Chains A and B, each alone.
Chain A
Amino acid sequence: MKTSNGAIDRIKVDYLARVEGEGGLDIVVKDGQVADLTLRIFEPPRFFEAFLRGRSYQEVPDITARICGICPVAYQMSACHALEKALGITVPPPVRSLRRLFYCAEWIQSHALHVYLLHAPDFLGYESAISMAEDPQWRPIVERGLRMKKIGNQLLALIGGREIHPVSACVGGFYRAPHKRELLALKGDLEWGLQAAMDTVTWTAGLTFPEFECDYEFVALSHPNEYPMNEGRVISSKGLDIAMEDFEAHFVEEHVAHSNALHSLRIHGGSYHVGPLARLNLNLERLSPQASMALRHCDIRFPSMNPFTSIIARSIEMVHAFEEALHIIETYERPEPSCVSVSPKSGEGCHITEAPRGILYHRYRLDDEGLVQEAQIIPPTSQNLRRMEDDLRAFVPTVLDLPLEQVTWRCEQLIRNYDPCISCATHFLKLRVQWR
């Protein structure tokens, strides 16, 4: 909307597109500043933490996967690790390695989906990748992205049985571990994918980025000798360095009147940023050799404070994931047995893994039959929600000279920098829903 003198006074997006789940945006502008901002989350609550109560520990990875169809592996991994801590078991190195391979597959499919189908169209002025592909100039690029995504999904389905809601991960390991020969059959595709990911970095680094930077507190896992996925400490760009077990002592969830989902905040601090950009900025020295090379040849410098460059971070992580997947496959030892035997007992455990969209926290308390008494899940998107709002407050005044349609689109693009998964963010028990 515009005022009588032609100035923009309201930016409204009824339904955000190319995000997972349902949300909208409403910004009121006064005197060139944001007077009111509402990132509305009207995705209905599904009460996962409530109905997990009374379910057996071994059902939890299958159930939590259903929080998100795009990153089910992340939910399975955080759940398995947290429950293994509660039950006092550790998995042997071959299982650990297969879990990393499983996560590589999910990062590849999820990042390829976001980079090519959800985010790139914004940079190139297309409403979707479907329209992009109608242009002969871009069709081969979209096809490259689809093939990368397909390879990630093939690897995921080989390990997990299917791409969406895979069935093999369990507390203690896997119901079935693939044979080495099955994995080696994908080697050629993964080698192609590694090169395609290198090309993706070159391509995304050549896009035009709005000049916009924020003084972020980036939060990610950090591990002494690997790029973080399943293990590590929680660190931040502002000096935080804590064990996973202390997460709830440093981060708090807050109810906000205008939004339907809880926002996570640093205790005694503000919003923070999780996801590929945070992970990359905090773990530059842990990248695989080819990913390091891609980073060095890239015109954009990392650490980067420009949220729009998250598309490059995702691309670099795809290089890493393809390269690490190849390494794991070449050195693969099939876990025998595929799963550590588990006997139910009471206990409590929490764990964080790096979902494609950032850190994912799970905590469970079990009774002596191994039934869930209490569950707590903090997904990455709810951790980024407040940060998205802070970004928008800072960003909107810089683009108000543009026509309203352009401003609206830019705001959407800014939100899509975070690859928000609103289905994840609103699984909460403690959700406030206010209908318009």
Chain B
Amino acid sequence: MNQTRTKEQARESKPRVAVFKFSSCDGCQLALLDAEDELLEVAGGIEIAYFLEARRQTLEGPYDVSLIEGSVTTPEEKERISDIRGQSKFLVTIGACATAGGIQALRNWCDVDDFIRLVYATPSYISTLKASTPIIEHVPVDFELKGCPINKYQLLDLITSLVIGRQPRVPTYSVCLECKRKGTPCVLVTKGIPCLGPVTQAGCGAICPAFNRGCYGCFGPMESPNPYALGERFAELGMPASHIVRLFRGFTGYADPFRAASDSFQEMKR
């Protein structure tokens, strides 16, 4: 019976996927285009209904899956995310900006009005929110893919899961397990290099320790982390509180556990 279906009907039965960008660097949506071996196959298995970085054609909602890159930093983005939520069956946030506010969430510890007054001749022209916030602070989110950037294989697994209807396979344990599997000696234990691996969610493949440096937490907090205890260990190794604050306030610094830890060490600094 399938053979008698028209191309249009076949198209209609494919899941309609949309990719939307908020405040971000474009890197996480690029991860899809970086899946060079799988891209055309994926494009054949789903209908890419809206993906401005890749195509001119845009199809109206509703969408089966909306992938959201970027954080909310303007009043317009706040409205737009509600609108997109209303049109989406599954809404998936991709990357550190969408899941934790991103590097631009560093503004959340400053007074944005100070920046604006400092620099702009006409502050009233500036329409930006005081904080950069993750999507989940604004609308319900069905699934999160972490990382700065996301891992393209996790994205492909997610898309496959949605197409065939199974749970995505995304680990919630720490980067330490990935180091152990790779056989990378612990940089914290053997070299005393501060590393966020013990509190950061796996998914990158433990790249930084394999490159002789500590993890900087770009996949954000793992499930039930204890960042404060890790920070205390850094302090024992002689790291000043100001460094510890900066280490937690990175690409996922606004995510709850990292935020709380950095705020504690900020207090200690005083």
Q: A: which residues have CB within 8 A of B?
A: 15-22, 42-47, 50-51, 55-56, 59, 62-63, 66-70, 72, 113, 117-118, 121, 127-131, 133, 139, 142-143, 146-147, 149-150, 153, 161-165, 167-168, 170, 175-176, 255, 338, 409, 412, 421, 423, 429-435
Give the residues in chain B near A170, CB-CB below 8 Å. Answer: 213
Select B115's contact among A133, A421, A429, beta carbons within 8 Å.
Answer: A429
A130-B43 in contact given A70-B26, A117-B54 (Cβ < 8 Å): yes
Tell me the smallest distance from the CB of A170 to a CB of chain B, in Å: 8
**Inter-chain contact total with CB atoms closer than 8 Å:** 174
Q: Which residue, B53, B76, B110, B121, has most C-beta atoms of chain A within 10 A? A: B53
Select B56's contact among A128, A162, A421, beta carbons within 8 Å.
Answer: A128
B79-115 to A contact mask, C-beta < 8 Å, 1/0: 0000000000000000000000011101100101001
Contact B103 A131 (CB under 8 A): no
Contact B211 A161 (CB under 8 A): yes
Name 6 interchain pairs, CB-CB below 8 A, sorted by A: A44-B22, A66-B102, A68-B27, A130-B40, A163-B34, A409-B56
Contact A131 B57 (CB under 8 A): yes
Contact B33 A113 (CB under 8 A): yes
Stretch from B123-131, B165-173, B174-182 contacting the other chain:
B123-131
Would you list the 8 A-B pairs with minimal beta carbon distance, nearest first?
A69-B27, A128-B55, A150-B36, A51-B106, A161-B207, A127-B56, A46-B104, A17-B56
Contact A133 B103 (CB under 8 A): no
B28-41 to A contact mask, C-beta < 8 Å, 1/0: 11110110110110
Give the residues in chain A near B56, CB-CB below 8 Å. Answer: 17-18, 121, 127-128, 409, 412
Give the residues in chain A near B128, CB-CB below 8 Å. Answer: 44-45, 433
Contact A162 B204 (CB under 8 A): yes
Nearest B residue to A409 by beta-carbon distance? B56
Nearest B residue to A45 by beta-carbon distance? B128
A20 to B17, CA, bound (A): 19
Select B149's contact among A59, A67, A164, A435, beta carbons within 8 Å.
Answer: A164
Tell me the smallest distance from the CB of B4 to a CB of chain A, in Å: 21
Contact A69 B55 (CB under 8 A): no
Give the residues in chain A near B36, CB-CB below 8 Å. Answer: 146-147, 149-150, 153
A32 to B56, CA, bound (A): 27
A66-B25 in contact given A162-B207, A165-B149, A167-B211 (Cβ < 8 Å): yes
Nearest B residue to A64 by beta-carbon distance? B103
Nearest A residue to B43 by beta-carbon distance? A130
Contact A164 B31 (CB under 8 A): yes
Contact A164 B103 (CB under 8 A): no
A431 to B36, CA, bound (A): 35
A423 to B103, CA, bound (A): 14
A20 to B106, CA, bound (A): 23
Nearest A residue to B48 by beta-carbon distance? A130
A45 to B30, CA, bound (A): 20
Contact B27 A70 (CB under 8 A): yes
Nearest B residue to A130 by beta-carbon distance? B43
A143-B31 in contact given A18-B53, A50-B115, A51-B110 (Cβ < 8 Å): no
A62-B30 in contact given A46-B23, A133-B40, A176-B211 (Cβ < 8 Å): no
A20 to B52, CA, bound (A): 9
